Amino acid sequence: MNELVSPAFYESLGDGRFRSTERTEGPWSPELQHAGPPCALLARAIEACGPRDDAIVSRIAIEILGPVPVAEVEVRAEVDRPGRSVELLKAELSTGGRVAMRASAWRIAKASVTAGPVEEPAPPLPPDEGPPPPAIAHAGYLRSVEWRNVAGDWTSPGPATVWARPRVPLVPDEAMSGLQRLLCVADSCSGISAALPWDRWLFINTDLTVHVAREPRGEWILLDCVTRINEGGVGLASAAVGDEGGILGRSAQTLLVRENA
């Protein structure tokens, strides 16, 4: 197992360019990134695009157009549909001369509202780290996130609930926002609640959509995950997401499911 020495998932090269570190390596190949870090990088670009303290990114949808290598990437964001109360933003992540991921996000102005349901409480944070994912030996990303199991585990197919916390920042010397932390780990839902054994099956998501009713707070993100796979080889992984204040939103992923030849 190679030692992880990089202080962050990416090194900033300036002008929207980043060098991917070994901490972005995913479980399927050490040459390809886990989708979590680039999703967080897209969220970072969207938050920095005409930033507004009076608004919240309430939904972000990311299309994964192809694999993202552990290499240099470039991220751009812009306002697609401006508005005082509601605006739509978009972002792209490119590598090797191609667009690998696209994101769109709705940003909604905050308002003083006192009515509404009380948040569903989140399960307590376990005091100790849970057992590691089965592919952790060669996956820099999986070793760069702390996982604490509440229910289920990585080696038993089926629904599972975990708390997750990135061990390092997205870029050096910069604190991750709550949205970035959420996007960094939400893509792991399909692996956390894998419906089929890791060693025999591939389950690769084509997208990730996250809705939140408020901004995530604190270091820890809760993922209460379930995966459903139909006979045609298409799956859906979804999760209730939250923080130590309670459940604050949901995530969903479409899955391509194939036997690992």
Rounded distance between C-alpha atoms, residue 258 and residue 181, angstroms: 29
First CA to last CA across the chain, in angstroms? 24
In a domain, 147, yes or no: yes
Sign of the alpha-carbon dihedral angle for 61, 65, 66, 68:
negative
In a domain, 153, yes or no: yes
In a domain, 3, yes or no: no
**Whose CA is closest to 254, among 63, 106, 101, 103?**
63
**Whose CA is closest to 182, among 206, 209, 150?**
209
In a domain, 116, yes or no: no
3-class SS at 42?
helix
Better-predicted residue by pLDDT, 257 or 60: 60
Task: Look up the CATH number of the domain holding residue 70.
Answer: 2.40.160.210
3-class SS at 231?
coil
- Provide the domain limits for residue 217: 10-110+121-259
Better-predicted residue by pLDDT, 61 or 114: 61
Residues 135-147, mean pLDDT to the nearest whole number: 83
Residues 185-209, mean pLDDT to the nearest whole number: 89
Sign of the alpha-carbon dihedral angle for 154, 254, 178, 26:
positive
Other CB atoms within 10 Å distance of the CB of residue 241 = 24
Q: What's the pLDDT score for residue 3?
A: 82
Q: What's the pLDDT score for residue 114?
A: 66
Task: Give 3-state DSSP helix, strand, coil % of the chain, rounded to 5.
Answer: 15, 45, 40
For all residues of the chain together, what is the average pLDDT?
92
In a domain, 151, yes or no: yes
Residues 186-215, mean pLDDT to the nearest whole number: 90
Residues 130-137, mean pLDDT to the nearest whole number: 67
Given a cut of 70, whether residue 118 has pLDDT beyond it is no
Q: What's the pLDDT score for residue 137?
A: 57
In a domain, 148, yes or no: yes
Return the amino acid letter for 6. Answer: S
pLDDT classification of 119: cutoffs 50, 70, 90? confident
Q: What's the pLDDT score for residue 196?
A: 85
The region of weakest confidence among 56-65, 112-121, 217-226 is: 112-121
> For 11-21, what is each residue's pLDDT tens digit?
999 999 999 99
> For 29-44, what is each residue's pLDDT tens digit?
889 999 999 999 999 9
Residues 65-74, mean pLDDT to the nearest whole number: 97
In a domain, 200, yes or no: yes
Residue with tokens 């998501």: 205
| Predicted TM-score (pTM) of this structure | 0.94
Given a cut of 70, whether residue 197 has pLDDT beyond it is yes
DSSP state of 3: P
Domain count, the chain: 1
In a domain, 2, yes or no: no
Rounded distance between C-alpha atoms, residue 181 and residue 175, angstroms: 10
In sequence order, what DSSP letters do the residues of 121-189 get, joined into one string? PPPPPPSS--PPPTTGGG-HHHHTEEEEEEEEETTEEEEEEEEEEESS-SSTT-PPPHHHHHHHHHTTH
The percent of residues above 70 in pLDDT, for the chain, comes to 95
